[in-house]
Amino acid sequence: MIIKTEIKKITILPGVNKLGEKENFEKIEINKGEIVAIVGPTGAGKSQLLYDIEKLVQGDSKSKRVILVNDKRASKKLRFEPKRKLIASLAQSMNFLTDISVKDFLILHLKARGKKFDSELIKEVIEEANEITGEPILSGTNLLNLSGGQSRALMISDVANISTSPVILIDEIENAGINKEKAMQILVEEGKIVLIVTHDPVLTFNTDKRIVIKNGGIVKILKTTLREKGIGHYFNWVGNYGLEIREKIRKGEKVEKVKLFCESIK
Amino acid sequence: MKLVIFAGTPGSGKTSVIKYVIQELKDDYSLFFAKFDCLKTEDEKFIAERYGIPTMKKLAGELCPDHYTALEIPKIIKENQDKDIILLETAGLCLRCSPYIKEGLGINVLDVISGSPDRYGPILTEADIVAISKGDLISQAEREIFRTNVLRVNPKAKLAEVNGLTGEGTIDIVEFIKASPEIKTEKLTLKHSMPSAICGYCYGNKIIDEAAVRQRYLQGKELKNLVPNLNCGKCGFKSCNEFIRAVLDGKAKKEQCPFIKKNN
């Protein structure tokens, strides 16, 4: 059973931190297609926040937070449906372990999600993955033979297009071999709510805001400034330029010169 | 009192998950932890030292570790009447036994890279909770396919994705434990029967031969009728079956059992 309720917006209402003090914010709204970063030291309470969102808590978790869906309290049915998985996640280590071709794997995933075979969708997943990675993925390639960058690109495109979970959690994404800004763009275009646990400047400054967690509580919400966005773009350019050089090295070319200045953002 | 049984193959991450669960529960509940294993374990000492809760280890030795667990459960409950939650970790060697109790909570810690869930018997199909571990080693798509397959073989299961390294998913397991029923009756029931143990090999035969198996079985059966089957331990063995094997192997004398001695 797939839950019919479309999630357009999630609202976090304040709870308490580990010391029992009330969190100092009125509410945090995250809309469909929005990216929010979660930052803070290890053990600060990032997992609790993700748990609260996944379980759509109503003041009944340790943090006492309340999560609203589309401005309303979540129904019992939506909260406790065992097959519902609100959050899909992209973890740090990203390798496939299934011995199968890219195309057959995507078909298998479609089936697991209770969807019908759709050759157009499968084509789109592969095409979008190829926009994220430098080396093109072919539909007949075995998953185990994909490079790290190709695997990550395919996973991101697959999560954007095939997973039904409306919220995507990205935990310190391993970034070798992928265009990070492009990857985020694809997730957002598919109408996902994207939460990123990261301290990477490209990913952090590519978001609209970041939630800062300390001692089990949300201590502040920082809006990403124009200046920070510029810094993020600069690091993304450096990363992508690095991808170009990687491709040259892969092809056996010599690299004697390097560009020092960032090109304008397209 | 609640009784929670963790079962799962060796290396699936049972102990790591249990550590996080104990950490989370220990301040609000009085806990007891029993670790069952076959030959050797030090986990019970480690957990007692780190979390300051009473623990014990139970080594099955020559016995089937899951049958042994079932034999020991009543004793553990009797000795721990003052506890809120008893956590048991099985040796996890047999997919067929895994002694889940109807009145308690059965949690299968299932390694996501252990292959198709169809291969598992009651350890998975009879679990109340399936805690899928090591999900960070594979992709979201593979995790989703795995979840679907788990729910196909055990449609009633509640799922949690756990990580023994980071503690992810601990909150889910803790919530499931808090919501699990209290044990009210004295008599507990296994969720499913354990496989038969009725051949010569069960009595310690090592010769691969039909006649030898049968002979050992008959000898064992004869002794089985003489012993009290109370597993009282007065003979120096943990259970009557272990004692019978020792007698047939020439490592113990029949008369070591006070009941046989008295009746002769």
Q: Is A252 on the interface with B (CB under 8 A)?
A: no
* Per-residue confidence band for B66, with pLDDT thresholds at 50, 70 and 90: confident
- Do residue B140 and residue B230 come from a single domain? no
The answer, yes or no, to whether residue B62 has pLDDT greater than 80, is no
Q: Which helix (H) or strand (E) holds A104?
A: helix A102-112
Within a domain: residue B78? yes
- Where a domain ends, among B129, B150, B179? B179
* Domain around B106: 2-179
The band of B60, judged by pLDDT with boundaries at 50, 70 and 90, is: confident
pLDDT of res. A2? 45
Write out chain B residues lying below 8 Å of A99, CB-based: none
Q: Which of residues 171-190 of B touch A (CB under 8 A)?
A: 171-172
Name the phi and psi angles at B142, rounded to 5. Answer: -65, -35
Residue type at position A175: N
- Please report which confidence band the pLDDT of residue B30 belongs to, taking 50, 70 and 90 as the band edges: very high
Q: Does A101 touch chain B (CB under 8 A)?
A: no
Name the strands in the sheet holding A66-69, side by side, starting at the edge strand that comes first in the sequence: A28-31, A9-13, A66-69, A72-73
Q: Is residue B90 a part of any domain in this protein?
A: yes
Q: Please compute the mean of the pLDDT values over residues A93-102 and round it to a whole number.
A: 83
Q: Does residue B139 belong to any structural domain of this protein?
A: yes
Query: Is B63 part of any domain?
Result: yes
pLDDT of residue A244: 85
CATH number of the CATH domain containing B71: 3.40.50.300
Shared domain for B226 and B139, answered yes or no, is no
Q: Which of B20, B116, B139 to mutate to test the interface with A (most CBs of A within 10 A)?
A: B139
Whether residues B175 and B205 share a domain: the answer is no
Q: How far apart are CA B27 and CA B7, in angstroms?
A: 24
CATH label of the domain that carries residue B234:
1.10.15
pLDDT at A1 exceeding the cut of 50: no
Question: What would the mean pLDDT of A131-145 be, rounded to a whole number?
Answer: 90
Do B51 and B170 belong to one domain?
A: yes
Query: Is A163's CB within 8 Å of B140's CB?
Result: yes
Distance CA B262, CA B264 (A): 6
Q: In chain B, which residue's Cα lies nearest the Cα of A54?
A: B172
**Helix (H), strand (E) at residue A196:** strand A193-197
- The answer on B133 and B45 residing in a single domain is yes
Quick: pLDDT tens for B186-239.
788 888 887 766 778 888 888 888 888 889 999 999 999 999 988 888 999 988
Question: Is the Cβ pair B137, A93 closer than 8 Å?
Answer: yes
State pLDDT tens for residues A183-200: 888 888 888 899 988 888
Residues B71 and B28 placed together within one structural domain of the fold: yes
Q: Is residue B187 part of a domain?
A: no
pLDDT at A93: 63
Closest-approach residue (CA) in chain B for A81? B158
Residue B194 lies in a domain: no
Q: Give the mutation candidate from A60, A64, A83, A121 for the B interface (greatest B CB count, under 10 A).
A: A83
For this complex, say whether ipTM is above 0.85: no
Is the domain of B127 the same as that of B214?
no
Q: Do A155 and B139 touch (CB under 8 A)?
A: yes
**Structural domain total, chain B:** 2
| pLDDT tens digits for range B15-27 | 999 999 999 999 9
Task: List, in order of start, the domains of chain A with CATH numbers.
Answer: 9-250 (3.40.50.300)
Q: Within a domain: residue B192?
A: no
Co-location of B75 and B130 in the same domain = yes
Does residue A17 register a pLDDT over 70? yes
Nearest to A97 among B140, B142, B159 (CB): B142
Are B208 and B166 part of one and the same domain?
no
Residue from A57, A79, A94 whose CB has the most chain B CBs within 10 Å, to mutate: A94
**pLDDT tens digit sequence for A225-248:** 999 999 988 888 888 888 888 888
Chain A residues touching residue B145 (CB < 8 angstroms): 108-109, 112
- Residue A233 CB contacts under 8 Å (≥ 6 apart), including other chains: A181, A205, A262, A265
Residue B195 covered by a domain: no
Q: Is B203:B219 a contact under the CB 8 Å cutoff?
A: yes
- Same domain assignment for residues B169 and B78: yes
Q: Which helix (H) or strand (E) holds A170?
A: strand A167-171
How far apart are the C-alpha atoms of A163 and B197, rounded to whole Å?
46
Asked if B91 and B6 count as a contact pair (C-beta separation under 8 A), the reply is: no
- Give the end-to-end CA distance of chain B in Å, rounded to a whole number: 44
φ/ψ (deg, to 5) at B129: -125, 135
Asked if B137 and A62 come within 8 Å (Cβ–Cβ), the reply is: no
B69 and B134, same structural domain?
Answer: yes
Indicate if the pLDDT at residue A5 is higher than 70: no
**B16 and B132 assigned to the same domain:** yes
Residue A257: pLDDT over 90: no
